[in-house]
């Protein structure tokens, strides 16, 4: 089941994709990662790869809007995969 969170429009928060289980299955490591953030949200800085996780800092959003952020990794072995995190914007 995809990860989903509620975010305040004024919040500046980190969101992480945990690839540990899948990477263990395929016996591989992350070589590079990109995070696609839709219009309305702002990616603050580049995604950070730390071992088996990718973290992106995000700001913005419009109240009552829903957004999908997509993380795409490439492994050292050449595998490519994508996962999404869903944000719903609400005053908190």
What does the pLDDT read at residue 91?
96
Q: E strands, 1-92, where?
A: 3-7, 12-18, 30-36, 41-50, 53-60, 66-75, 80-89
To the nearest 10°, report the CA torsion of 45, 49, 50, 56.
40
What does the pLDDT read at residue 2?
72
Mean pLDDT of 3-22: 97
What is the third-level CATH fold of 3-89? Immunoglobulin-like (2.60.40)
* pLDDT tens readout for residues 15-48: 999 999 999 999 999 999 999 999 999 999 999 9
pLDDT over 60 at 50, yes or no: yes
Return the ∠ at Cα 57 (arms to 56 and 63), rounded to 5°: 115
Percentage of the residues of the chain whose pLDDT score is greater than 70 = 99
């Amino acid at each position: 089941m995809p990860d989903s969170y509620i975010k305040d429009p004024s919040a500046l928060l980190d969101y992480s994709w945990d690839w540990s289980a899948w990477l263990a299955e395929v016996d591989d490591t992350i070589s590079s990662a990109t995070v696609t953030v839709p219009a309305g949200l702002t990616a603050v800085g580049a995604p950070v790869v730390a071992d088996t996780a990718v973290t992106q800092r995000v700001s913005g959003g419009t109240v009552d809007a829903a957004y999908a952020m997509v993380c795409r990794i490439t492994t050292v072995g050449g595998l490519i995969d994508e996962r999404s995190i869903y944000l719903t914007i609400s005053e908190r």
